[in-house]
Amino acid sequence: MPHLLHLDSALDPRASSSRPVTAAFAQAWRALGPDHTVTHHDLQADPPPHLAHAALHWAAPLRTADEAAAEVDDPVQRALLDELLAADVLLVGAPMYNWSLPSTLKAWVDHVHVLGTTVPFGDRTDQPLAGRTAVVVSSRGAGYAPGGPTAGLDHTVPPLAQVLGQSFGMHVEVVTLDLTLAGRVPAMAPLAGDAEAQRVAATTRVQELARALG
């Protein structure tokens, strides 16, 4: 049964640019048939707490004696890991906030990026998510086109590509929508047509991806 984990992290469900795009992916996924199941985790409505202890960055057998003595265990982390490991495909709504990840999404990353559990480390070589696909939908108020003067300011997509791609071994597809503030910032008004074209292209792209991956 192909299963999708759909994460959203945009602050405002009514005005979000990323949420309609992730929703279009999920809708196209569900349209593939009743066996195409979805878990939707809204990280804004149901945010993970900050990581409670540094030991949670390590699988239990890799913890120091002090960490082991503290008997750190976290049901929130276990639940987030179970939710992720159950997914054949991961969909991440990743708006740019202050050039980086929403804090809710960063907290999610901190819980699931675990050396020796989701990330191979030492003799713990398992990489359980390797070969699966993650689709990252990143909406940004300004423009961050590759090769442009502001491309290096994008600290939203690169950490996700590192964690999901390099650490987890997932195949990462990135879909971006730039210029989403064109309708709000008067100086960006001439860019409204470009912004709309990017929104349409992103929606079409995620629908294609859902059909290809499902």
Ligand X SMILES: Cc1cc2nc3c(=O)[nH]c(=O)nc-3n(C[C@H](O)[C@H](O)[C@H](O)COP(=O)(O)O)c2cc1C
How far is 47 from 195, CA to CA, in rounded Å?
A: 29
Among 60, 181, 196, 207, binds ligand X (CB under 6 A): 181
Among 7, 141, 170, 195, binds ligand X (CB under 6 A): 141
Angle between helices 103-112 and 75-85 (to 10 degrees): 90
Of the candidate spans 30-38, 56-64, 138-146, 205-213, the one that interacts with ligand X by CB under 6 A turns out to be 138-146
Among 28, 59, 84, 96, binds ligand X (CB under 6 A): 96
121 binds ligand X (CB under 6 A): no
Has 17 been labeled as part of a binding site? yes
Of the candidate spans 17-25, 64-72, 82-90, 128-136, the one that interacts with ligand X by CB under 6 A turns out to be 17-25
DSSP 3-state assignment of 137?
strand
Tell me the three-class secondary structure of 77-103, residue by residue. HHHHHHHHHCCCEEEEECCCECCECCH
Has 100 been labeled as part of a binding site? no
How far is 102 from 111, CA to CA, in rounded Å?
A: 15
Within the chain, how many helices (H) and strands (E) appear? 6, 5
16 binds ligand X (CB under 6 A): yes
198 binds ligand X (CB under 6 A): no
How far is 192 from 66, CA to CA, in rounded Å?
A: 56
10 binds ligand X (CB under 6 A): yes
* Distance in Å, CB of 45 to ligand X, minimum: 14
Positions touching ligand X (CB under 6 A) are 10-11, 16-19, 95-99, 139-142, 180-181
